[in-house]
Structure 1
Amino acid sequence: MELLSNNVVALIPIQKEHASGILTAAQFPEIWTYMSVTLSTLPEVEAYIGLWQQKARQSSACAFTVVDQQTQQIVGVTTFMDISTAHRHLEIGSTWYTPSVWRSAVNTNCKYLLLQYAFETMNMQRVQIKTGHENKRSQRAIERIGATKEGVLRNHMVQRDGRTRHTVMYSIIAEEWPHIKQYFKDVLQVN
């Protein structure tokens, strides 16, 4: 996978050299409320990077370290997961950002770059995005970019704290991409 970037963010395939920057960005407990992992120590971050690199070697996923172009600081991680070239679909997921970039242009720019690459370079016909039923902030962000809510997978997962998660499913399909791309161009003022 290649570097994806614009003037706001750079999405760099995750590397071991990113470990200390990821750890710095990850040091806020509120990041992990709805996530299946926590990253609070360097060994945890190194294992996390190793897991994503293993999945990349198997061509089933690609994790990107998210860098804020203005500060040149690592501000999070986002991924392509469940990649199927045969069925031409993938999932954007396991995304987290340090709180200082919440409600900023970072997530919208990341989603634009990921969707553009998925539809225009990888020739995907479907991109799905999932989130927990309690994660209203994530649901709003997904809906804001124009993804279609397909439904809820009830009792889908058991969270780290033992609570049951119902998973809200969203998707964007290739036929919708031109309209959604125009939305991004209008909002982000990109070419």
Structure 2
Amino acid sequence: MEQIKIENDIVQLRLITQEDVEGIIEAANDPDIWMHMSDTLLSREAVLQYVENAVKEHEAGQMYKFVIIDKKTGKIIGSTTLFDISLQHKRLEIGYTWLNPHYWRSNINTNCKYLLLTYCFEHLGLHRVQIKTDDKNNRSQKAIERLGATKEGVLRNHMVRKDGTIRHTVMYSITKEDWPHVKQHFERNLLKKSFNF
């Protein structure tokens, strides 16, 4: 398995390993993170299972879960994932992103998405990257739209939330044709700013 590590001067993304358990426990221990997520990492057992699954999925080439490391502190502050991978069709999805709330209104997530999109389009040669979010997660929708992704529509009755309610899912994409403009938008406008969502 290739050890993927992507970084700039703000963040480092690298595949999750067993050594990351304590850092993930520290970063993930806030219930607000999990408000719109289907799973939570609020217990040691949940984090141990998360890390074990991540390593297995990496080895099988099914999913690539990264820890997000703040380059200033060297601490793990969240995670993001490449999944629904089809190299045959040259597409994948970015998602399952969570950050410690201390970083929610910073430029960390923007830098993560820039690094992942650059990796996807310029290293892997993909044709499409998609991003989905809960239709109730307005903060996430605004963040995705600021990136320059195109809203493709809503998948109605797509999932059941952990509270039993039905979730509609908003689908976005960036294509290889979009990427030069989106990349320029990142570099000119987004990478150095922080936003209030």
TM-score category (smaller protein): over 0.9
Counterparts of 2:176 and 2:51, CA distance in 1: 30
Structure 2 unmatched ranges of 5 or more: 193-197
The answer for the alignment partner of 1:185 in structure 2 is 187
Structure 1 range deviating more: 61-70 or 38-47: 38-47
Counterparts of 2:55 and 2:159, CA distance in 1: 24
The answer for the alignment partner of 2:38 in structure 1 is 36
The answer for the alignment partner of 2:47 in structure 1 is 45
**1:72-126 CA-partner distances (Å, limit 9, x unpaired):** 1111000001111000000000000000000101000000000000000011100
Tell me which amino acid in the other structure corresponds to 2:110: T
> Offset of 1:43 from its aligned partner?
1.7
- Asked if the contact 1:60–1:84 (Cα under 8 Å) also holds between the matched residues in 2, the reply is no
> Offset of 1:2 from its aligned partner?
1.3
The answer for the alignment partner of 1:16 in structure 2 is 18
- Asked if the contact 1:89–1:127 (Cα under 8 Å) also holds between the matched residues in 2, the reply is yes
Q: 2:177 aligned with 1:168, yes or no?
A: no
Question: TM-score with structure 2 length normalisation?
Answer: 0.94
Tell me which amino acid in the other structure corresponds to 1:99: P
The count of residues paired between Structure 1 and Structure 2 equals 189
> Offset of 1:144 from its aligned partner?
0.2
Q: 2:72 aligned with 1:70, yes or no?
A: yes
Structure 2 counterpart SS, 1:64: strand
Counterparts of 2:48 and 2:125, CA distance in 1: 32
- Asked if the contact 1:131–1:169 (Cα under 8 Å) also holds between the matched residues in 2, the reply is yes
Tell me which amino acid in the other structure corresponds to 1:50: E
The answer for the alignment partner of 2:195 in structure 1 is none
**1:139-185 CA-partner distances (Å, limit 9, x unpaired):** 00000000000000000000111011000000000000000000111
Counterparts of 1:98 and 1:184, CA distance in 2: 23
Identity %: 51
Q: 2:129 aligned with 1:127, yes or no?
A: yes
Q: 2:145 aligned with 1:143, yes or no?
A: yes
Runs of at least 4 residues of structure 1 off by over 6 A? none
Structure 2 counterpart SS, 1:87: coil
Counterparts of 1:124 and 1:61, CA distance in 2: 16
Counterparts of 2:138 and 2:27, CA distance in 1: 22
RMSD (CA atoms): 0.9
> Offset of 1:46 from its aligned partner?
1.1
Counterparts of 2:78 and 2:148, CA distance in 1: 23
Structure 1 counterpart SS, 2:177: helix
Candidates 96, 106, 109, aligned match of 1:107: 109
The answer for the alignment partner of 1:87 in structure 2 is 89
Tell me which amino acid in the other structure corresponds to 1:72: G
Question: TM-score with structure 1 length normalisation?
Answer: 0.97
Counterparts of 1:81 and 1:103, CA distance in 2: 25
Tell me which amino acid in the other structure corresponds to 1:14: I
Tell me which amino acid in the other structure corresponds to 1:130: K
